[in-house]
A = this chain, B = another copy of it.
Amino acid sequence: MDRKAFHAKIAAMGSEFSPELIEATNAMLAPLLPAPDEARTTRDIAYGPHERHRLNLFRPPFDKLRTDTPAPCLLFVHDGGFVMGDKGAPGAPFYNNIGAWAQKQGFVSATMNYRLAPEVRWPAGREDVIAAILHLAGHAGEYGIDPARIVVMGHSAGATHVADTVAAPGAAAGKFAGAIMSSGFYDLGSAVRDPFKPQYYGDGEDWSPMSPLPGLLESEIPCLFGVCEYDMIECQQQARLLADAWLAAKGRWPVIHVQAGHNHISAARQVGSPVDSFGPVLADFVASR
């Protein structure tokens, strides 16, 4: 499928989030995605005691390692509305695509699971991201990672967990060099009360105290944001709030990339495919840390 045909199909689906949009987008992308080099992949490494405290580690093949110097590492935090989602089983297209793509770039990468609502509530996602960062930093030598060049990336609910981590890094302070947030929720005060978020944020009237936005604005950690042309309207409104608040607080725009011809599902699932326009932006950000 060429880019023109792919983007035309995405455009025709529009931005309203539905099971049909999810299935159709997945069906288009799955056959286009590269598979990781399994010989350089280690699955289900425990970074904590819970059964969801597991990450997959993808190391670049030896011919991609320029020297024996350690590589940057991208830690990916999946989506799923705080209540579902997965880092990628063997043979699954998503998010093994992140690992396969990173192997080609010469980066180490990891895709992590985390505890889900309603079993856990805010800020469990942040706690798990912090634990995974500390695991990678603590095993940097073993995994071939430069511990000064760990970048964490999340999509949708995963982006919100990353934003929470930037806002309040706790024990991970100084342990990651950048953060990428794709189609996330940053201002909980204006977040849509869909069937999922209350399972993570509770039934309270005001979610504002759980918003990562104030802490994001105070942080000096380099951030890259993404949102899609055909993203959920809520994500587009969140991006607008973020951009306005960032410009007001910092005197400049946030680094935000609006993906032409992509929707909420293709945003991170395109990475590594022949229609991938996000990967080069991610690669540049990671390589620059």
User: Which B-chain residue is minimally distant from A236 (CB atoms)?
Assistant: B253
List 17 contacting pairs A-B, 8 Å CB cutoff, sorted by A.
Answer: A3-B284, A3-B287, A3-B288, A6-B288, A15-B252, A227-B253, A231-B252, A233-B251, A237-B247, A240-B244, A243-B243, A244-B244, A253-B258, A255-B260, A257-B281, A277-B280, A280-B281
Cα distance, A247 to B280, chains bound together (Å): 26
Instruction: Kindly report how many copies of this chain are found in the complex they form together.
Output: 2
Q: How many positions in chain A have a CB within 8 Å of any CB in the partner chain?
A: 40
> Are A260 and B285 neighbours in the complex by a CB distance under 8 Å?
yes
> Are A260 and B288 neighbours in the complex by a CB distance under 8 Å?
yes
Residues of B within 8 A of A253 (CB): 227, 229, 231, 236, 239-240, 258
Chain A residues packing against B (C-beta within 8 Å)? 2-4, 6-7, 15, 222, 224, 227, 229-231, 233, 236-237, 239-240, 243-244, 247, 251-261, 275, 277, 280-281, 284-285, 287-289
> Are A260 and B284 neighbours in the complex by a CB distance under 8 Å?
yes
